[in-house]
Structure 1
């Protein structure tokens, strides 16, 4: 049994990842009690004991924490700050077999953001195939579950103070740099993110003028032919609820022409903890999907 320590295992993503690792047939999760989670000496002991460390921490705590981890340890960070750092490998296996090999051999892996993951898997195939230009102005609308905002946002929505309203987020969203970098976009996308009154589930939608469904179906089928977790539909995404605790990515293509393309996924699983477990499996030489179902 290989040992994984999740620093931040009592946060929203950390709790789900902890559960996944606990139920994994070949992994053991190093656990500390909630009241000792900030005990620096105890954390260092856990870092030392672990075969792999996962950080599920606020971004302002990551750099200090890295100084506490033994230099030879392999680390996955689930925060924002290191995703564009050249010393860290972007942990999105669905970018292809070359990316999987890079993740497998990496010392440091940065887990993707949920909005960015959906955006990249939708937009990058269009750019790679020259269906759209890397200089295009890409406009997308996205609505996420309120669990993406962590414990504070969960408490706000579940207290009833939100009154079921959609909350619009800043268009200078923190995931935009990784969207641009890993899609190869030369122009900042027109990205309109929001948070809905549902707890879990992300839908990101891209309208494509002068497009044809048959062409897009062929393009995505060829791109993701061997991807076990990507499912392609030639119809409209109609609700959020079925994504609960699934690690699939669903791509929907609506209309025969001037298509509307959507990605639907769980922001808690595929958008955070599930992808982290994929990266753990790859880095430790296991089947990528082991422990996800």
Structure 2
């Protein structure tokens, strides 16, 4: 029997990615709404209530409206917007966190983590659980991300005829400098921090791929832990995981003449964590595809679990 899937927001960046990844599967029937009627509330309601799984690939306000339209108790929702991510009635979809897989399997309402939040939480949560990092640590982080993370508007900004004439688009650009980035609440809640981190995202002139960086100072950690200690905790936490890998400690062999390679996980659902250090300085970096593990790949991984499939079915490792 095929499971019926409806992508509400099928023409956006994440919606298109999910459609492409599901369209070849024999166990899935993707329901397609006429593009001319995609904003028709009655038409959307029909598809929302016919589906076994609904992916919401919409702005927050539209996602909330879609949830209100669902009347079928058997329809299960996977939300990719930031709406509901900190709502405790919704399951937060990072299977690699301890205890999350079982909750995901039985979820009727699930939120896919934000792209920046994914790498951050996967690095911080194990350290807090192990007591290496205190919950009130004044944590800072920054990410370098491809422009596709901004969705269709970001892609159009960089991939149009006026790009060559714009000097500003050719260099990395800091943004969200008012420190109100929409991922901050989930980054604090699901990492276990008492306070939101000081987070600076940086958009650069390449399409996709994220490097999320977290610096730590061992002299203000509760156990004066070293970079090697941090690496050991992370490696043990994820040792049996398929999609999250902790790379060898101080991995000079994985650098390009000392330079970090951001895009090595592109077009996969893989996330790799690196730990570097010297004396009391510790630097943790995760790299992954903002359109893969940071968006559509994570959504499909969660769907697989919810439907009882192997969670890696159809995903590139």
Q: Is the shorter-chain TM-score for this pair beyond 0.5, marking a shared fold?
A: yes
- Structure 2 equivalent of residue 167 of structure 1: 173
Deviations along 1:228-257, one digit per CA (max 9) or x if unpaired, are 001222315612232221110010112354
Say yes or no: does 1:276 pair with 2:282.
no
- Structure 2 equivalent of residue 38 of structure 1: 39
Check the 8 A contact 1:214/1:256 in 2, yes or no.
no
Distance 1:77 1:111 in 2: 6
- Structure 1 equivalent of residue 124 of structure 2: 123
Partner residue of 2:194 out of 150, 167, 186: 186
Partner residue of 1:214 out of 207, 218, 228: 228
- Structure 2 equivalent of residue 254 of structure 1: 276
CA positional deviation for 1:259: 2.4
Distance 2:128 2:270 in 1: 23
Distance 1:5 1:216 in 2: 42
Check the 8 A contact 2:79/2:112 in 1, yes or no.
yes
Deviations along 1:48-90, one digit per CA (max 9) or x if unpaired, are 3211111001111122212222241211111102101121111
Write out the 4+ residue segments of structure 1 that deviate beyond 3 Å after TM superposition.
none
TM-score of the pair, normalised by structure 1:
0.95
Check the 8 A contact 1:165/1:197 in 2, yes or no.
yes
Check the 8 A contact 1:5/1:46 in 2, yes or no.
yes
Unaligned runs of 5+ in 1: none
Check the 8 A contact 1:23/1:291 in 2, yes or no.
no
Distance 2:194 2:227 in 1: 26
TM-score of the pair, normalised by structure 2:
0.88
Residues 102-251 of structure 1: pairs in structure 2 closer than 5 A: 102-159=103-160, 160=163, 161=166, 162-170=168-176, 171-210=179-218, 211-233=225-247, 234=249, 235=251, 238-251=260-273
Alignment: residue pair count? 292
SS of equivalent residue, structure 1 residue 53: strand
Deviations along 1:251-272, one digit per CA (max 9) or x if unpaired, are 0112354221100000011101
